[in-house]
Structure 1
């Protein structure tokens, strides 16, 4: 690395790393093995000379980082500066691939240690449903209450295509195979088998080396849809039904029942349902339209029906039961006799014949819903299913017949899971949400009102006038739209999308599309506008008895994103639910209304501490408003990958929610590279799904202390949080929005411009063609800070807030420190906030960040702003130590601490080379030139750093 000036902060993370405990020795061996094999591949593919360069850089970087060897830092700097363009790209590739391989080893070790713990004592682990049920039983929660929770719950992970996923599917597939081969080595193997395994690993890493890490063309929405579907095939289709089965068993063991009650209790409804935004989220994405929604549902349906066909075919091979040896029910006989299979060879195999009939019906259904080809043609024709319920009913015939004829043990291995999958996924696979910005709705209605000669300029009306007009229109039987009038392309597109939603619901079932989310909800009229647009497109129908509002097909969901919007959320919802027409619609929704809260924009708007506090306050106030209105609240958490955008462990985040805000209902987004890290491995995916269920169960049913002492302490803690938030908000806003030149500093000192050029999503990086931070999407904002190793959105402002609050206590500093420590121990929100900040700070490296600051041409501006960032970093470090009592970061998570520190040695060269490449790229751009090798090197470094740092998107 570059020689540090006296102004450059010391490298706090370069202390020697403590020895790896015995239980983690296998992880070290796996990383060494994969690293050695990668080195062999580099030598094979690029030659000895290139290998020696990479290896020398690796050894020097390790010595510098792990041994705090100053001379090694100077040597590393010289080595990297001497690299030519081709060598630079090769070095970047090598260190990027190592980050990917280290992730595989760590994920495998995580699974290994969990498995070892389970084998050692077979006790329920933290975060499991079994342990949560133990806790609830000890707290006096009854089995009836638990079963009621599962009957009424909705837990929905929603996959989005937000562009921080920098991996191609082909890379993911290769890495999954490497993970499988690495897992094989944990079992007993002969020397020959182990050698063969190493050879296969070598071949897979070779394949990885010869496969492009990057996309050279922009992703389309169709690409994003198909990429997301791969996670269903990898994880969700198999693991979700299996998880249901395990949870049924856990409940039965903790709260046993007998007879009919026990049988009913093991057939709980679908409390976990998958959601998606990919193909329906058109906020700022001009590439999403009616056709992409139709394509999304067709591809989703093709995926799930393909799975059903495969499972039914396999069941047909397995259930070769002869009626000469076991009887069947009359219903099963009837199903079998409807089969197109008339072969004498299967005359006594009624289950097989029934399954051939089910297969034929599924094949007909798949064709009717748009599948273009089937892997195995059916034996003969059969009518398509009208709904997934009919398919499940046919499977039930098999289940009941087996149970009634000594075949109950044949149900569990495959048939029970297939039946559960049919209930969970239907023929739609996942519910597709629709999302659009409120200003688009306003423009659309402004045109409709004007063309219908109802209101010349709706957009200019006051809020009160808008509400009055919208409510009046909702009660009128005629439409504003006319097929004989020409409208702008935007209006035509918006109306066609809503009409397509109606068609999709008719075709794929009502669960296919259920929600309409309004970005930038700022007023009641923003919500009423979407109701009126639904009325215009047949999704909201009038009451049969009179013209007033009757049934609405899509729940209208506000998204409150910025700090001002979050503060207005309770008032807006109170006003909305007080409107009789709206309250009637909510009643028909089961007296349930969803509200979405945005973590990304609130963070970009107000900083980490204030964003979390304003979200907490909004949730608490919304609970009060909804309780008063007699409506059940479901919160949809728009959490991103990085901590600054609501990332961090979902389990802890759910448990930290204010009392009464979960209540068995929760949806949350899974975004970008987090989807791959959570769900590309089936075992890890299953664990993450169980964590969601366990946390929602505990947060909903755990008894809340009701004594005055607890209430008084909570009120005191919340008062402190409010004061800290105000101070942190001022510090953050002062730097980001009030410091002259900060925007120039950000755009120069981070790879934001280069990230915008990456082909990692179908959505542009900025909402408008400007260099205003206000217009920049929160995702590239956070991603850029992660690349330059500052991760500023995850901590800035906290240190100033703590320091100022402690000195404002009129001499009672010690008392205030005691209060903060008590909050850390007793207030889940504060504890989770500090835990996430601790993790972010462990990944922050000021010495690396100082190199990026050198790209700011204005030296005075550069020194001024970076000095402020360094000072705040010091304050945050001091504050964390003061409150938690730990000088070292991640003291309570030594495995993660070691992982991060071990990775730093391999990230340093990537950061260094990224800076050098960006400098070259920008210099060429000034002269109107582009060097594709330089640009590719930058993009490869972005990929490697994202993989190495993990949750930074």
Structure 2
């Protein structure tokens, strides 16, 4: 009954309103728009029937044009297809806005509860209230914004979406009509690839307009509910930032762009403060407060509009003046408007002079090259030769003497080495301008040995940092299946290394470890990736507890299940006793940012859900969330069977060729969506290990096959049934939040799949059998997940999300038909270079629309 109620609400609040407001497109004063809108329903219906009949895309397109005499010429047909794409792009925006505007009407989604339920439970339970208050003393949620391109809306379109949401909430038809006109005239494409600084500026919109308000509000609410008087500057909601700092595989990120982004973040924060301060100044017009308010006026204004290149951390000075003004207001003016000052004090305590921590990230191979170059260039100063460092893990660790020096690069042998040296020096300047919280982490991608971390520590000491002033956290990133297996061994070496153990103590004995889902999914398949990370967390937690280290897991969770996303709150609520869960840290990107954190309402709700998940996972653990030894063995076997199935697919000589020929993979590099290249080592032939996970997942999602989100699961479940383990798997789904979340996320990926679109491939001489193998595993997985969950159709227990996905898939089906048609035309060849460029542009435009509609892709 509850599901039916939710479904009815969604149909009324979203689907009916979408159809209503969609009709406004036909009233826009653009003749071409009106004509396209009139004919689009016929084209969409034609595509739906053609796909259902499993027709090739060129047959669907050609038979449609055969009904209209005005579309005889190829140029007229292409022009029409472009107009269809442009129209659907704007329909997607409208659907996003209608759905987001209905957030409150829809109520809570199908995930875990938020802080309301938590605070209600403590009203008559003082003991639980004490437990939660104690838990929150050492608990935080850190959201790290990344520029990974899983949404392609440019800044102006994002602005229209947000304005449209507010107008839809108010049913302001006149303004909605005006905004749709603006949308009709606003380009959806970037003319040039964005720079890292452009990406930072785009994401800063969310910092300024959403997180600045919401993070502070949540802090205030928790303090009030729990009657917490401790104002020592602890942070429940922390923010991290990657644009400008994440240089792994992105040569466009340089130390200069890092410097610009750090300055940008600081300036935007001071502008937020200045806006709030103007309200304070307008109300606080009393005697005795002029001096501190004038000092604050000067600080906020100068740092907002005349930022200095040699800026320093002014947090203490700001707070001193705010408290001085507050004291006068309380003692001499009856606390009139003191709440305005308190609000600003709280925000300054929350954000200081830095706003968000700018993380640095680089691949271990680049860091090793830098180490080798400096040690070879300065053997006397370092006491080590480059050849020693390259010999073995033991030789590397023995060779690192942790000497302090200032080693310059007189001649740069490589731009990446030069950047590494310069950014290490730059971090010190960033810390000076915003405290160590402005930049305190360096993440080592592809971390394989303890020496990768120790070598980076030494690089800092060779660039003017001293052991006493090394206010940095060194974060290994373990991502491939093999690296995850050896992660605990690497950390054991570090925890027992005398110098590193001493450094950890100086950092509060806290160690952050990043675990990445992206490459592990690409490397081992969906089930193995999830299990490898979960198992690594258990092993790493045990190792940290043995050495009394406060362990923080930082999860590289992208938007889609194929990249570790999906039902994130449920995942964190299901951590058992064997996994450290004091702090929740995860990356958010693309549509995850805009759909879950794009407005005050959604951001507040989703952050509170994460907080609730972290608190409840420790205080009210379900018994089944701590796996038994038998359950671990069964999941391990399931993962092994799934991994073998995925490896067989990966090793098929057609695997990458299939993506290159049938998906828009090759076109992704020419689309102006991101400052990052589609693949690492872009100067050599495409290899799977070089292909970025986002490009990998995006390509499969454009095919509507979503292989990274389900492949191998059906084979593993069938194996369990064949080996009399089905009852164990059923019990796992019923009792383990981790396992049920994996299965539910798998069903989400499958709901976004539609093999009918590519069914024509089964007759292809080259790829026919390969396609059939993919489809067989899809059918097998669907059969077994439905059997396991007892559902009649995928996502039966999540009716709101299911309806949203199905409507979005319906909207973009014509885009996919056009895309596959254009790809087929290009593959056939025999067209001029001019026409080839036109079809490539058409494909690129469909990619934008499909990804924007997908909300987390696969």
TM over 0.5: yes
Do residues 160 (structure 1) and 146 (structure 2) align?
A: yes
Per-residue displacement from partner, 1:506-545 (whole Å, max 9, x unpaired)? 1222111000000000011101110000101123x14xxx
Q: Secondary structure in 2 aligned to 1:206?
A: helix
Calculate the TM-score normalised by the size of structure 2: 0.92
- Structure 1 partner of 2:733: 824
Cα distance, 1:628–1:781 mapped onto 2, change above 3 Å = same
Q: Distance in 1 between matches of 2:115 and 2:238?
A: 17
Q: Distance in 1 between matches of 2:405 and 2:13?
A: 71
Q: CA RMSD in A?
A: 3.0
Q: Distance in 2 between matches of 1:844 and 1:154?
A: 36
Q: CA deviation at 1:927?
A: 5.7
Deviates more, 1:832-841 or 1:137-146: 137-146
Cα distance, 1:804–1:484 mapped onto 2, change above 3 Å = closer
Q: How many residues align?
A: 840
Q: Is the 8 A contact 2:678 2:695 kept in 1?
A: yes
Q: Kindly report which structure 2 residues correspond to 1:509-524, keeping only aligned pairs within 5 A, or say none.
A: 509-524=435-450
Q: Which ranges of structure 1 fall in alignment gaps of 5 or more residues?
A: 1-16, 118-123, 186-196, 253-261, 324-332, 339-353, 373-383, 543-549, 810-815
Per-residue displacement from partner, 1:282-303 (whole Å, max 9, x unpaired)? 1111111211111011110110
- Structure 1 partner of 2:609: 691
Cα distance, 1:862–1:644 mapped onto 2, change above 3 Å = same
Q: Distance in 2 between matches of 1:105 and 1:748?
A: 36
- Structure 2 partner of 1:6: none
Cα distance, 1:656–1:439 mapped onto 2, change above 3 Å = same
Q: Distance in 2 between matches of 1:266 and 1:503?
A: 28
Cα distance, 1:867–1:370 mapped onto 2, change above 3 Å = same
- Structure 2 partner of 1:25: 12
Q: CA deviation at 1:802?
A: 0.9
Q: CA deviation at 1:681?
A: 1.8
Q: Kindly report which structure 2 residues correspond to 1:525-924, keeping only aligned pairs within 5 A, or say none.
A: 525-539=451-465, 541-542=466-467, 550-703=468-621, 705=623, 714-736=628-650, 738-768=651-681, 769-809=684-724, 816-851=725-760, 853=761, 859-922=764-827
Q: Is the 8 A contact 2:575 2:626 kept in 1?
A: no
Q: Distance in 2 between matches of 1:615 and 1:885?
A: 28
Q: Aligned match of 1:300 in 253, 265, 277?
A: 265
Q: Distance in 2 between matches of 1:274 and 1:747?
A: 37
Q: Is the 8 A contact 2:48 2:813 kept in 1?
A: no
Q: Aligned match of 1:78 in 63, 74, 90?
A: 63
Per-residue displacement from partner, 1:383-412 (whole Å, max 9, x unpaired)? x98521321232223334444457447333
Q: Aligned match of 1:38 in 12, 16, 25?
A: 25
Q: Aligned match of 2:385 in 452, 455, 470?
A: 455
- Structure 2 partner of 1:108: 101
Q: Is the 8 A contact 2:122 2:129 kept in 1?
A: no
Q: Aligned match of 1:361 in 299, 302, 319?
A: 299
Q: CA deviation at 1:911?
A: 0.7
Per-residue displacement from partner, 1:530-563 (whole Å, max 9, x unpaired)? 0000101123x14xxxxxxx44221111000100
Deviates more, 1:530-539 or 1:94-103: 94-103
Deviates more, 1:798-807 or 1:240-249: 240-249
Q: Distance in 2 between matches of 1:137 and 1:268?
A: 26
Q: Distance in 1 between matches of 2:409 and 2:649?
A: 53
Cα distance, 1:936–1:136 mapped onto 2, change above 3 Å = farther
- Structure 2 partner of 1:490: 416
Q: CA deviation at 1:28?
A: 2.7
Q: CA deviation at 1:370?
A: 3.5
Q: Aligned match of 1:947 in 839, 852, 855?
A: 852
Cα distance, 1:840–1:462 mapped onto 2, change above 3 Å = same
- Structure 1 partner of 2:249: 284
Q: Secondary structure in 2 aligned to 1:767?
A: coil
Q: Is the 8 A contact 2:425 2:463 kept in 1?
A: yes
Cα distance, 1:892–1:482 mapped onto 2, change above 3 Å = closer
Cα distance, 1:53–1:803 mapped onto 2, change above 3 Å = same
Q: Secondary structure in 1 aligned to 2:337?
A: helix
Cα distance, 1:478–1:297 mapped onto 2, change above 3 Å = closer
Do residues 151 (structure 1) and 137 (structure 2) align?
A: yes
Per-residue displacement from partner, 1:662-701 (whole Å, max 9, x unpaired)? 4422211012222122222221122122222222222243
Per-residue displacement from partner, 1:105-134 (whole Å, max 9, x unpaired)? 11112222329x9xxxxxx99521131344
Q: Secondary structure in 2 aligned to 1:273?
A: strand
Q: CA deviation at 1:371?
A: 8.7
Q: Is the 8 A contact 1:433 1:517 kept in 2?
A: yes
Q: Secondary structure in 1 aligned to 2:672?
A: coil
Q: Distance in 1 between matches of 2:355 and 2:813?
A: 43
Q: Distance in 2 between matches of 1:692 and 1:862?
A: 43
Q: Is the 8 A contact 2:313 2:435 kept in 1?
A: no
Cα distance, 1:573–1:862 mapped onto 2, change above 3 Å = same
Q: CA deviation at 1:465?
A: 0.7
Cα distance, 1:125–1:483 mapped onto 2, change above 3 Å = closer
Q: CA deviation at 1:714?
A: 2.2
- Structure 1 partner of 2:186: 211
Q: Secondary structure in 2 aligned to 1:157?
A: strand
Q: Kindly report which structure 2 residues correspond to 1:239-388, keeping only aligned pairs within 5 A, or say none.
A: 239-252=214-227, 264-265=229-230, 269-320=234-285, 322=286, 333=288, 336=290, 338=291, 354-366=292-304, 369-370=307-308, 386-388=313-315
Q: CA deviation at 1:428?
A: 1.2
Q: Is the 8 A contact 2:54 2:759 kept in 1?
A: no
- Structure 1 partner of 2:394: 464
Q: Aligned match of 1:399 in 318, 326, 339?
A: 326
Q: CA deviation at 1:926?
A: 7.8
Q: Is the 8 A contact 2:25 2:180 kept in 1?
A: yes
Q: Distance in 1 between matches of 2:830 and 2:375?
A: 48
Cα distance, 1:850–1:136 mapped onto 2, change above 3 Å = farther
Q: Secondary structure in 1 aligned to 2:237?
A: coil
Cα distance, 1:525–1:840 mapped onto 2, change above 3 Å = same
Q: CA deviation at 1:605?
A: 0.2
Q: Is the 8 A contact 1:136 1:702 kept in 2?
A: no
Q: CA deviation at 1:797?
A: 0.3
Deviates more, 1:678-687 or 1:453-462: 453-462
Q: Is the 8 A contact 1:275 1:430 kept in 2?
A: yes
Cα distance, 1:268–1:865 mapped onto 2, change above 3 Å = same
Q: CA deviation at 1:362?
A: 2.1
Q: Is the 8 A contact 1:151 1:268 kept in 2?
A: no
Q: CA deviation at 1:38?
A: 1.9
Q: CA deviation at 1:570?
A: 0.6
Q: Is the 8 A contact 1:662 1:700 kept in 2?
A: no
Per-residue displacement from partner, 1:767-798 (whole Å, max 9, x unpaired)? 12322112101111011111111111000000
Cα distance, 1:386–1:822 mapped onto 2, change above 3 Å = closer
Per-residue displacement from partner, 1:128-154 (whole Å, max 9, x unpaired)? 113134457899953333223222223
Q: CA deviation at 1:421?
A: 1.4
Q: Secondary structure in 2 aligned to 1:892?
A: coil
Q: Is the 8 A contact 2:313 2:434 kept in 1?
A: no
Q: CA deviation at 1:896?
A: 2.0
Calculate the TM-score normalised by the size of structure 1: 0.83
Q: CA deviation at 1:237?
A: 1.4
Cα distance, 1:422–1:439 mapped onto 2, change above 3 Å = same
Q: Secondary structure in 1 aligned to 2:194?
A: coil
Q: Distance in 2 between matches of 1:70 and 1:405?
A: 80
Cα distance, 1:87–1:365 mapped onto 2, change above 3 Å = closer
